[in-house]
């Protein structure tokens, strides 16, 4: 592949403070240490404390959601969203094959099974046409219930994923969900600060989730958030994720098997501090993306750009190469020279836990799998 030396030089020039240049390194540029010290000094280090509530309020303000419930990670938030919406054993959730494994894991943790549809070339996210094709060819109504013909599972929900921060065609997906009376849960783990038609990702359906993993725009080390406009969903998720303990000044009474999945105050303190300067983080990320677009365009290499009528946070920048062979050459050359690059994920339908799940043809997902490489996308100091 031509220009590999120039590419490595350009990326190292963007991140002169890094050696090696990592794919996505967290930066702490505000009150993180001060707020951590406050947690330690006040002794509020678990989920009880002002920072958990403060971070939930900040997320509501940023996304426009009516309710936010902080969790230990995005996978737990997804599990709790599905659980709170009544999805469990015997159910099926339609998602996309091109996504990180945690998307399917959240479905599996709820007791349901995933099913896979294709993505669109212009969003890298769920294709409304592929979703409709799945419902028309793979499902049927039996006694008024929509079921997967192949396994008899009740098809309950649809879960699109906003890949690398780029919003999917969620209005069209919602229209299909409404037509088939399906629950819509958005995996917005990668898209904090991304908008479609002026509306934040994760707020179009019954619930959405966010992630604050160490490689996200805002990190709490490990953390996630359930967002919803439905008070009953938020209340249910908050209750069952806090050990299903009935509120009382001193008694311990748990009326069902609960989970211990709430975000600790120590983690929330770090995330809350970063949310105070979040606008600067997004602006920095978008500026980096524009620099990449200009540079790679000069080499004839395609970068993935935000879809029409969208504002993307450009969590991870992506380039599309000509073939798997060229992709692998690029990966070896860059990583050997201490520039961390990564391929896109193996399609979920190819992974052992999900090989037997129902799916439709996946030509676009397979096209991306062959070609996409993520390049360093940290905040530039």
What whole-number distance in Å separates Cα of residue 28 and Cα of residue 18?
A: 15
pLDDT of residue 75: 98
pLDDT of residue 48: 84
**pLDDT over threshold 80, residue 1:** no
What whole-number distance in Å separates Cα of residue 24 and Cα of residue 340?
A: 9
What whole-number distance in Å separates Cα of residue 107 and Cα of residue 323?
A: 32
pLDDT of residue 239: 97
As a whole number, mean pLDDT of residues 318-332 equals 97
As a whole number, mean pLDDT of residues 201-205 equals 98
Cβ neighbours around 212 below 10 Å, total: 32
Tokens of 188: 């917005």
CB of 20 within 8 A of CB of 316?
no
- Residue 47's pLDDT band, with cuts at 50, 70 and 90, is confident
Tell me: the pLDDT tens digits for 107-160? 999 999 999 999 999 999 999 999 999 999 999 999 999 999 999 999 999 999
pLDDT of residue 366: 98
- Name the percent of the chain lying above pLDDT 70: 99
**pLDDT over threshold 90, residue 2:** no
- Domains and their CATH numbers in the chain: 4-23+278-348+358-375 (3.90.1150.10), 32-277 (3.40.640.10)
Among the ranges given (1-5, 69-73, 209-213, 329-333), the one the predictor scored with the smallest mean pLDDT: 1-5
Concatenating the DSSP letter of every residue in 119-186 gives B-TTTSSB-HHHHHHHHHHHEEEETTEEEETTT--EEEEEE-B-GGG----HHHHHHHHHHHT-EEEE
Tell me: the pLDDT tens digits for 75-120? 999 999 999 999 999 999 999 999 999 999 999 999 999 999 999 9
pLDDT of residue 249: 87
What whole-number distance in Å separates Cα of residue 182 and Cα of residue 185?
A: 10
CA distances in angstroms from 265 to 44, 45, 53, 269, listed in the order given: 7, 5, 9, 6
Q: Is 237 exposed, middle or buried (0-12, 13-18, 19+ CB in 10 A)?
A: buried
């Amino acid at each position: 592949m031509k220009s590999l030396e120039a590419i490595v030089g350009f990326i190292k020039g963007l991140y002169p403070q890094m050696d090696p240049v990592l794919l996505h390194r967290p930066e702490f540029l505000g009150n993180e240490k001060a707020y951590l010290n406050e947690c330690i000094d006040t002794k509020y280090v678990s989920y009880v404390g002002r920072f958990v509530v403060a971070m939930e309020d900040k997320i509501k303000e940023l996304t426009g959601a009516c309710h936010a419930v902080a969790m230990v990670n995005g996978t737990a938030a997804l599990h709790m969203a599905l659980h709170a919406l009544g999805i469990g054993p015997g159910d099926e959730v339609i998602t996309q094959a091109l996504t990180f494994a945690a998307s399917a894991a959240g479905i599996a943790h709820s007791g349901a099974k995933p099913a896979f549809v294709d993505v669109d070339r212009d969003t890298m996210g769920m294709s409304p046409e592929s979703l409709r094709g799945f419902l028309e060819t793979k499902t049927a109504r039996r006694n008024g219930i929509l079921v997967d013909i192949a396994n008899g599972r009740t098809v309950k929900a649809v879960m699109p994923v906003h890949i690398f921060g780029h919003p999917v065609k969620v209005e069209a997906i919602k229209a299909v969900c409404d037509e088939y009376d399906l629950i819509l849960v958005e995996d917005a783990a990668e898209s904090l600060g991304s908008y479609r038609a002026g509306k934040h990702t994760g707020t179009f359906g019954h619930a959405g989730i966010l992630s604050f993993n160490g490689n996200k725009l805002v990190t709490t080390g490990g953390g996630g958030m359930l967002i919803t406009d439905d008070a009953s969903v938020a209340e249910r998720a908050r209750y069952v994720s806090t050990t299903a303990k009935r509120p009382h000044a001193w008694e311990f009474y748990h009326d069902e098997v609960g989970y211990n999945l709430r975000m600790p105050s120590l983690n929330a303190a770090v995330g809350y501090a970063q949310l105070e300067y979040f606008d600067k983080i997004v602006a920095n990320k978008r500026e980096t993306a524009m620099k990449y677009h200009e540079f790679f365009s000069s080499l004839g290499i395609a970068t993935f750009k935000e879809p029409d009528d969208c504002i993307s946070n450009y969590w991870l920048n992506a380039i599309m190469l000509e073939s798997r062979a060229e992709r692998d050459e690029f990966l070896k050359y860059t990583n050997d020279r201490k520039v961390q690059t990564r391929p896109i994920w193996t399609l979920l339908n190819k992974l052992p836990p999900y090989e037997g799940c129902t799916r439709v043809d996946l030509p676009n997902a397979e096209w991306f799998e062959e070609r996409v490489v993520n390049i360093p996308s940290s905040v530039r100091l």
